[in-house]
Chain A
């Protein structure tokens, strides 16, 4: 009894400074913003209560000449943009983990490499966006220049063209199969959570089957595939200028930035925290590098993985402002505008804080649901000592 009380008292003591600030500067404003979402407030006159009106204007539909039309014509497209842009998160996390693993090795001069990989996070954001805009330029950008160079060399004669296309097909097929395999294993793990067990080896069979299916398809549509690939290399797309490629280009840019930078450092710190004795124990048991990773490293850094995932979700749904503002201007036909940008405009350029608060709380609700799902699922996976 006394021990418990001591512990609780100590906990409050440790918590207090942080908690005070939390109350004053975080929770009170948050509660106020929730209230704002139910008012109409144009910042200069007194706010007044409007109930759910902001939310229905934002999220609901109405009938117009017989068809169901959303109340806010822009909003859902921006939500789609935001979600789409978040799809690179898993790949980004994997990338930064791989880089961190490499950085963790006892190589001479690894410190230099770490610093270099961290540099983009330190550089001015505007400078980075200018650079990427240049890289993605359809005619003189470095990316397209290199693609065209390769294309011209390769597609001059069928002798080089066909093997090259075959290699592309191989690369494409393997990546696609790998992606299918990853999704299937995720499904299997999810099913395991929900107490459905898959038959042993079902995963392997399905992956190989889909891989075979992919390659057969490529072969069947060989000619179409060939013209597609050659077209791409001879006339690469306008990355930031077409609606289909604008968001994938931004995702690619985000992946590059995510390789070094914050996530790498976090993983590095986590990797440092794995006691070497665990690895030694695994080696004694005869584990190779692959099993050592899955048996020791992955579980030990799972709290950090969880952290990065949650923070990526939180940040991802709230992001995209600077890119849209500085680099794409909202993108071709509004395809790179995110919800956050829309929120900023509504609040500060349209003077509509109530509506903006509703948007903010919608963002909150989505992130909350996603985080809860991650928490529930991750609760089993994350191993704590």
Chain B
């Protein structure tokens, strides 16, 4: 017995000693190689989402700029970004995904004004699409550079159209036409006495309110941003139409119907539905092309988003900004210049993540026809739609998050049938206005 005890103890001690030695070794190795000496190289940190294209973009840049190394920093979470900015450890190039955040950052003096550098580095800011201005300018200063953008278009499944004998839609078509088409393309089947949707004609998300607010010429905010105008008749008409699409005509799926046709729900569920041919039409942006390309048997094309009396669609983009406290400004600006450069824009054009933001004939030509994907014959549409694309509205007197919270709460009640579209509009307007009033009365809010 005693021998066993001694053996066990010896083994434990041996184990602990080896373990400790190992850890010390690992620690020494890690610390020694922590920041490899890269003489002559500057390292800049690019804080953006880690899409596969980033690696190519970086490779392209480092080929022509051997003295600069770019790291793709994947975590663009708000908490991380703000903590680092507050603690004076800023990224060199950071991505901002919506215009109100851009204006919040700019208002607080976080972003570098790039105007003095446009001349020196020959940044082609004036050749970006005009509708991207909210992503670029703040009170006249240039605070951000978008490299790609995407006007919302309507993707449709050509095979379903053919099978149903419905002619393909043409750019400039109206919501009424779209509704008729969607009705024809919606199919059901009976399962145990229940009517279950097999396919819906159109997918419109719970929170895609912009198309319908703008449909009859309405706006969410007054031009000065101090009043919410959701309760105007124009907006109400649009929202009624939107509600009817799902609740009266049943051509768009309810949340659970969408989930029953594909499970991922909130994360690009509509893309999955479209890929599986569960919906015939989907309103989204160019970035979904990446996913649709993977589905070899999907025969799809794009057309403009249907419109009401005036033609309008939503514009999505993001911009790259440089923090004022950046430590490697020249290198950062060089990198931004590269992102706007020909090679990178071509990469963006081919990758399908969006449309290149530079309005350049050579790039446009490459975007319009990509030999690898001959079925994408209507890329010109994206360019045309830029004329009608509008950035989402926001007001400086209420934070977008509050707007989103109110909208989603009351629109959810509308979708659940607890209130009518008109009521929803009224409630939303009064709640938004209440918050705006409080913010206006609070002197601390506006600084």
Contacts and interface: CB of A to CB of B under 8 A. Distances in A.
Residue with the greatest number of chain B CB neighbours at <10 A, chosen from A50, A74, A242, A347: A74
Residue with the greatest number of chain A CB neighbours at <10 A, chosen from B81, B257, B408: B408
Contacts of A332: 412, 416
Interface string B404-447: 01001110110010000000000000010011001000101001
A64 B20 CA distance: 67
A43 B86 contact: yes
B408 to A, nearest CB: 7
A44 B86 contact: yes
Nearest to B414: A333
B83 to A, nearest CB: 8
B108 A137 contact: no
A351 B82 contact: yes
A138 B255 CA distance: 10
B313 to A, nearest CB: 24
Contacts of A347: 79, 82
B414 to A, nearest CB: 10
A152 to B, nearest CB: 7
Main secondary structure of the interface of B (DSSP, over half): helix
Given A43-B82, A137-B263, A349-B78, A334 B109 contact: no
Nearest to A50: B444
B257 A348 contact: no
B30 to A, nearest CB: 22
Interface in B286-342: none
A170 B324 CA distance: 69
Nearest to A152: B192
B401 interface: yes
B257 A345 contact: no
B80 to A, nearest CB: 8
Interface in A154-175: none
B409 A333 contact: yes
B447 A45 contact: yes
User: Which of the four size classes fits the interface of chain B?
Assistant: 35 or more
B196 interface: yes
A348 B192 contact: no
A73 B435 contact: yes
A133 interface: yes
A198 to B, nearest CB: 44
A41 B5 CA distance: 63
Given A73-B434, A334-B409, A349-B78, A139 B266 contact: no
B416 A242 contact: yes
Contacts of A241: 255-256
Interface of B: 77-79, 81-82, 85-86, 101, 104, 108-110, 192, 196, 255-257, 259-260, 263-266, 399, 401-402, 405, 408-410, 412-413, 416, 431, 434-435, 438, 442, 444, 447
28 contacts: A42-B108, A43-B86, A43-B108, A44-B86, A50-B444, A53-B444, A57-B442, A69-B434, A71-B438, A74-B405, A139-B196, A139-B256, A139-B260, A140-B259, A140-B263, A243-B416, A330-B405, A330-B408, A332-B416, A333-B410, A334-B405, A334-B409, A337-B405, A344-B79, A348-B78, A348-B79, A349-B399, A351-B82
Given A44-B86, A337-B405, A350-B399, 13 more contacts: A44-B109, A44-B110, A45-B108, A73-B435, A130-B264, A139-B259, A329-B408, A332-B412, A332-B416, A334-B409, A344-B78, A349-B101, A351-B82
